[in-house]
Chains A and B, each alone.
Chain A
Amino acid sequence: MALASPSVVPVQTRSERPSSTDVTDFPAVTGREFEWKFAPLDRIRPLIEGVLDGSPVAFQYSESAGTTVEWVDRATAVVGVAGTPEDRASANAWGAVEKVLQIRVTSEEAEELLVRREHFDQNPRAAHVVIEALPNSSGTVILEHRGDADLSENVEIVVGEGAQLTVVTVQEWNDSAVHVSSHFATVGRDANLRHVIVSLGGGVVRVNPSIHLAGQGSSTDAFGLYFADAGQYLEQRPYIDHQAANTRSRVNYKGALQGAKAHTVWVGDVLIGPHADGTDSYEQNRNLVLSDGTRADSIPNLEIETGNIVGAGHASSTGRFDDEQLFYLQSRGISEEEARRLVVRGFLAEIITQIGSPALEERLTAAVEAELVEAEVVRAAAGVASDAAAAASADAAAAGAAS
C-alpha cells in the first residue's frame, strides 16, 4: 500500500465495513457508531429496528419515451446487483419490501423521466427502487419527494457499459418527515453516472450514496445541495469506490444552514482500490452558515491502496455570512433580503447549474429562495420575541431599582 501524501490517513477502512441484506446480522444501534453518531436516533429508531410496512405506495410519473416504470417482484434478477446494505436501517428496509419499483432507461436519447412520490404517510415504511440504464443508453431520472414520510429505502442504480445516466433525488418533504435512504450504484465500463442529491425539506433526511466504479474507464460526477433551516437535520455520506483502472470521480456538495439547531452532516469517503491504477478523484464539501445556532459537520476521508494514480484531492470548508458582510452589501444600497439572496444564490448556483435539467434548475432556484423567505419570516418573528424579552428584562431591572 502506498500513500500519495503523508497527510492522508484513513480514519476507517471502508472496504472492510460489514454488509448484509439480513437485518439480524447487524448489532443493535447504540448511537456511538460512527455511522449514527450525528443523527437524532430517537426519530430514526423505528426505521432501524421497528417493523416496516413494505407494501407499494402510489406515485406519479411522466410518460417519457425511452423509459419504463413498473412494480416488479423482489426476486427479480437485477435486485441486489448494485450493492448490499451497510447499515441496519437499510437492511431493515431490504427485508421488508414486498415489491420493487423498477425504472429503466432503454434508449440512446431517452426523454427526461420524472417520478413524483408524495403519498407516503407517517407510518414507518420500507421502499426499494432499481434504476437501470441499459448499455449505451442515455437519460435523466428525477425522483421527487413531498408530503409526509417515515421511510427507510434502498435505491439501486445500475449503469450499463457506455451508458450516460443522470439520477436526481429531490427531498422537499414536510417538516416532520423522516427519510433515510441508501443509494447503491455500480457503473460499467466507460459509463458515467451523474448523481445529484437535493435536500431542502424534511425533519430528518439522510441520503447516503455508495458509487462503485466497477468498469474500466467509468466515471461519476456526484453533486449535493442542501439547505437546512431551524430544527432540520440533513445528512449525506457519499462513498466513491474506485475499483477499476482509469476511473474518474468528482464529488461536490454545498450546503447552507440557517436557524436554531439546523444541523448538516457530510462524510465523504473515497476509496482507491488496489486495482484502480490511473484513478483521478477529487471531493469537496462547502458549507455556508447564515445564522447563529447551526452546526455543520464535514469530514472528508480518503483511502488509497495503489500508488499509481493521476490525482486524489479533497477540500472541506465552512464559512459564515456574517453581519460585516451584510453591512458591506447594504452599504452599497442592497437590501438585507436581497443581500442574503445574492449570497446564497451565488453559493449554490455552482451545484444547481450542474443538474442538467433546465426546468428543474429553475424550480430549485425558486425553492431555495422560498427557503430564504421562510427563514426571513422566522427570523423577524424571533427578533420581535427577543426585543420583547429585552424590554421585559429592562422593566424587571427598573422595578428592581425602584424597590
Chain B
Amino acid sequence: MSVLKIEDLHVSVETEQGTKQILRGVDLAVGEGETHAIMGPNGSGKSTLAYAIAGHPKYHVEGGSVTLDGVEMLDKSVDERARAGLFLAMQYPVEIPGVSVSNFLRTAKTAIDGQAPAIRGWIKDLDSSMTALRMDKSFRERNVNEGFSGGEKKRNEILQLELLKPKFAVLDETDSGLDVDALKIVSEGVNRAKENTGLGILLITHYNRILRYVKPDFVHVFVAGKVAEQGGPELAVRLENEGYDRFLQGANVG
C-alpha cells in the first residue's frame, strides 16, 4: 500500500521585497488509489504546494518533509522524484521548442522505466491513449505544447499521466479552461489511470464540476498556506455555495 505523506511543510519564495513565506505547515497523507481534492482561494499556496512536491528550484523548503513510501523526496532532484513515481500536471504547461511530442514522450518513458519501451507496445499505447483523449495523430509531430490551445495543453498533460504511470499525481487546476466535453474527456483519462495503476491523486481545483467526474474521497480547504479544514465530498458542495469567507476571518493572506 503506497502512501505520499506531507508533514509540517514550510516553503518560501524569494521576491523583490524579500523572502516570502507561503506554506506554513502543511500536513496531508494520500494513500494508493485515493483522491484528495484541494480547494482554496487564489494565492493561498496551492500551486506552491504542487511545485514544492515536484521540486521546482524557485521554492525553498524551510522545514518539514515529503515522503513516498517512507523515502524522503525533498533531498532528491526533480527528475529523481519523477522516477520515484511523482507526477505534476501543471496549471500552465510549458512550451518546448524543437522537441516533438512523440520524441518527448518516448524519452520520458525511457527515463522513468530505466529502459526504452518495446516499440510495438509503445505505439499501441500511445495511439489508444491519444484516441481516448481525442487528440489527433498530428500532435505527435508537433513541438511540445507549442501553439496548443489551453485545452489541448491539459489533454497533453493527462496523456503523459496515462503513459508514464506514476504512483501519485498532483493535478493543478487541470479542469480550468476546459469546456464541458473536454472536461469529461480529461476526467475519464484521470479515472482510467486510477483504475489501471491505483494512482493516488491530489486534485487542486476551484470548482465542484470536475469532482462530479473524478470523485474525491477527501476534500481539504487550503487557506493562507495550510489546510484549514477537511471533510468528505459534501464539503466541496458547501464551499461552492458559501465561499471561503468563514475561513478567512483572522487568516493573514498575502
Contacts and interface: CB of A to CB of B under 8 A. Distances in A.
Contacts of B104: 329, 332, 342
A64 interface: no
A338 B103 CA distance: 12
Interface stretch (B12-20, B22-30, B86-94, B229-237): B86-94
Interface stretch (B77-85, B119-127, B208-216, B218-226): B77-85
A68 interface: no
Interface stretch (A104-112, A211-219, A263-271, A320-328): A320-328
A288 B97 contact: yes
A295 B157 CA distance: 33
Nearest to A256: B98
Interface residues of A, number: 22
Contact of A346 (B54, B103, B160): B103
A328 B93 contact: yes
B79 A333 contact: yes
Interface in A115-158: none
Nearest to B146: A319
Interface in A340-378: 342-344, 346-347
Nearest to B163: A332
Given A288-B97, A288-B98, A346-B100, A332 B164 contact: yes
Contact of B94 (A319, A325, A344): A325
Contacts of B54: 327, 331
B96 A333 contact: no
B150 to A, nearest CB: 16
Given A327-B57, A342-B103, A332 B108 contact: yes
B96 to A, nearest CB: 5
A328 B145 CA distance: 11
Contact of A331 (B88, B98, B99, B107): B88
B111 interface: yes
Nearest to A329: B96
B238 interface: no
A379 to B, nearest CB: 15
A330 interface: yes
Interface string B1-42: 000000000000000000000000000000000000000000
13 contacts: A288-B97, A325-B94, A327-B56, A327-B94, A329-B108, A330-B55, A330-B77, A330-B82, A331-B90, A335-B111, A338-B107, A342-B99, A343-B99
Interface of B: 54-57, 77-79, 81-83, 87-88, 90, 93-100, 103-104, 107-108, 111-112, 143, 160, 164
Given A288-B97, A333-B82, A343-B99, 4 more contacts: A344-B98, A346-B99, A346-B143, A347-B98
Name the 9 nearest CB pairs between A and B, nearest first.
Answer: A347-B98, A330-B78, A346-B98, A332-B108, A333-B82, A333-B111, A333-B112, A328-B94, A330-B79
